[in-house]
Structure 1
């Protein structure tokens, strides 16, 4: 092993999946053949693990060791089941605050968001299994260790999490520039979840269709959008402001 968050080799990754290690992403050499690689790909599909098929040179940049065409990133934190995370938060607080990240891909943005989430009392962060930024050493560093403090869950689809939260009495608000409603006109005082989108595409249209409210920030300059971690911080601190000392 190169470090605590990386394993390499076809058989080693297969065994890690069988052992239910929290694998964030598997990198497989394009065109890799053999019975073991077929077995690995079957396990990846069965377990819904994020995978990328990359050139041999990419794998060489990930590790200097003999990777046999496969490298996997292991999350340094443990993820909870969605139901477990939500139920625990609802038991501890009358009006919990959740954060959903739809296809956020930059690990440093992810780390900065986790840090702000911890500082603003977020009770749980929910991300999608595929396409989401992994929890890497850079994520941990950027979060200033907050990644070990905020409960997190992974789901197959963000919409599934939204439906579950709504059924649990949680109002879901999406940050979107495609609305006329400002953040300051939306109530964040009750149990609620804030949805933030990816750096380049924002929140997917299918997710926007099922949220309870959409809200935007006023942009008074020439630039048409904020960095997602900055926008997320504004949303979360507006929740803090509205809730006061509750």
Structure 2
């Protein structure tokens, strides 16, 4: 069965995945057993879909229907293909500006970043299938509807997107404190993609090794970091300032 935001029931979720529904996350009851549940879990692993194993009480709060131990959240948007997006932007004649989010998990931060990205003319946001915040009601509300106005891509791994962007002549710039360069020392004038890390960990070290440039925000107070959505806004507006 399905409504505008959820699918519930093991067989229904399996069929939705096989039909390429844009599923953000699947909640599975802890200890769920049976041939169908094993089939579902194998399919989820194959597709790299976000999964949480939760008590039955959590599922009961998500839906009052007969969920059979499984509830899936559907994305309200269709996700773009990164190859098509990059090709379209390159053919448009504008200087590409993309945003990569390395497993950013808070939906409100995600929504705030989407809103700023739309306001600054970002050509697309790229997220990883696993470990990333879903596009749900909170995301839509925080983005002030911008989620419907900017392309969002999902990739198996953020590294895949980086390799493709770099092969397409797009420089990847990491927003990280692990550098001596501030964002004012780095050029954003050429085709580029800015990568932001998760709220707690920042950018994955293995991802950080692959970037073309690193930049940090100067912090003059005693607090050692900014909220990721605020930091992202500072980076995007510096890119716009340089390009104007």
* TM-score between the two structures when normalised by the length of structure 2: 0.97
Q: Which residue of 1 aligns with 2:210?
A: 210
CA-atom RMSD, angstroms? 1.1
Q: Which residue of 1 aligns with 2:235?
A: 235
- The 3-state SS of whatever aligns with 1:130 is coil
Q: Which residue of 2 aligns with 1:181?
A: 181
Number of equivalences: 244
> Residues of 2 paired with 1:93 and 1:108: CA distance?
33
Matched, 1:31 2:31: yes
TM-superposed CA distance for 1:123, in Å, is 0.2
> Residues of 2 paired with 1:200 and 1:69: CA distance?
31
TM-superposed CA distance for 1:94, in Å, is 3.4
- The 3-state SS of whatever aligns with 2:162 is helix
Unpaired segments ≥5 residues, structure 1: none
> Residues of 1 paired with 2:85 and 2:30: CA distance?
37
> Residues of 2 paired with 1:226 and 1:71: CA distance?
35
Matched, 1:110 2:110: yes
Q: Which residue of 2 aligns with 1:145?
A: 145
> Residues of 1 paired with 2:2 and 2:86: CA distance?
35
Is the CA contact 1:89–1:124 (under 8 Å) kept in the aligned structure 2? no
Q: Which residue of 2 aligns with 1:192?
A: 192
Is the CA contact 1:85–1:152 (under 8 Å) kept in the aligned structure 2? no
- The 3-state SS of whatever aligns with 2:77 is coil
- The 3-state SS of whatever aligns with 2:71 is strand
> Residues of 1 paired with 2:4 and 2:12: CA distance?
14
TM-superposed CA distance for 1:64, in Å, is 2.4
> Residues of 2 paired with 1:183 and 1:139: CA distance?
27
Deviates more, 1:228-237 or 1:83-92: 83-92
Q: Which residue of 1 aligns with 2:17?
A: 17
Superposed structure 1 runs of 4+ greater than 6 Å apart = none
